[in-house]
Amino acid sequence: MSAINIVGLGYIGLPTALMFASHGVKVVGTDSKSSVISSLKDGKITFEEKGLDDLFARAIEMGIIFSTEYISTDTYIVAVPTPYNKKNKKIDPSYVIKALENIMEVCPQGATIVIESTIAPGTMDKFIRPVFEAKGFIIGTHIHLVHAPERIIPGNMVYELKHNSRTIGADNKSVGEKIKKLYNSFCTGNIVVTDIRTAEMTKVVENTYRDINIAFANELLKICRSDDMNVYEIIRIANMHPRVNVLQPGPGVGGHCISVDPWFLVGDYPGLANIILSARKINDSMPEFVLERVNNIMREKEMHDLTRVGLYGLTYKENVDDFRESPTLQLIEAMERHLAPTLKTYDPYIKDNIIRNQYHDFDEFLNDIDFVIIMVSHDEIKENMSKLIGKTILDTRNICSLDGVYRL
């Protein structure tokens, strides 16, 4: 079998490339950023992830190649970003289109192109097929299209890549089965072969379902806060019912899936995606709700110095270095809109300076603040709660058991 060319070596593409290579598949990983390729060639992975170092070492042993160049081969997997336009809430397919244009320059007739990037329902028909047709490619003859959306989460990527079920969407059943066999080289989960539009919709529905359930918990939090009820106790008791599983509220929703994918449906189906839109508005409102809570606590404590307030956690979830769309960054953006000073921040997983007033030492951060807002439940802070004694604490994750702690 000729090598597969995996295009885009970010949070999804790199682990996928390493997983294929470590299971005996010949892989060339391509990325447009020369800095990414240089780092990988030097033996350095570009982000932290449990188990990724070992997977990387195994892939290197098996001969994986990294390059800024596309190769001529019979199978391509595209895993580039798919952001959304914040004004009209529609998908921005430009990264995918650019990758496909580069593939068309080198691919042989009959090549299969797999889109792993999360795309809005109908993206293949609206944007992808026209790219090929404009160049005279006959889909199903000159090239074959497949959509195989990823289904993994930062912090547990390596395990989920291997064990989670997958969906393969293809125009042609036999092409879908061929790609299923390829993914079966490492995936032990159930792999379903279906049509492309169903695969597109399924991935977006999965993340939208989660967003709606989080929004219910966050709206319940606001209701309980308005009438001085303990939302955490209410959820604990409600969840004793055998058919109830209310999630925990929090400071917002981040990451590149749950906070983005539902907007695809809102943008494409205005007037129909009503619950989805409401959920998005609720979850997007949570960073401002945290700021309001901070303001009320400072009044109650007669605190007036914002420079002594610090945000613990910049990532969108615990124990990862992924800060895309994180609630903390959304909160800071809201403060800047109100012309308020940026609070001090610290996160053990963020090594580079991504905002102002960012600390890189936990103790130094704590020494310079009186009021700490726990935005992320990293293991570090759960294991060092005693260091917070004497501080005013707003715990947005409900992890702190110290006396006098404030909660959302």
Active site residues: 203, 257
Q: Please choose, from the candidates 258, 261, 260, 234, the residue with its C-alpha nearest in 3D space to the C-alpha of residue 248.
A: 234
- Token readout for 338 is 């109100």
Q: Are 374 and 346 in contact (CB under 8 A)?
A: no
Distances (CA, A) of 145 to 62, 136, 175, 190: 28, 15, 9, 21
For the chain, the distance separating the N- and C-terminal CA atoms, rounded to the nearest angstrom, is 55
Of 151, 155, 234, 149, the C-alpha closest to 194 is 149
Closest CA to 56 of 13, 22, 9: 22
Helix or strand or coil: residue 199?
Answer: helix
């809109």: which residue's tokens? Answer: 337
Q: How far apart are CA 155 and CA 48, in angstroms?
A: 9
DSSP 3-state of 66: strand
State the DSSP string of 327-373. Answer: HHHHHHHHHHHTTPPPPEEE-TT--S--STTEES-HHHHHHT-SEEE
DSSP-assigned beta bridge partners for residue 6? 29, 77
Distance separating alpha carbons of residues 202 and 367, to the nearest angstrom: 48
Contact in structure between 79 and 73 (CB atoms under 8 Å)? no
DSSP state of 386: G
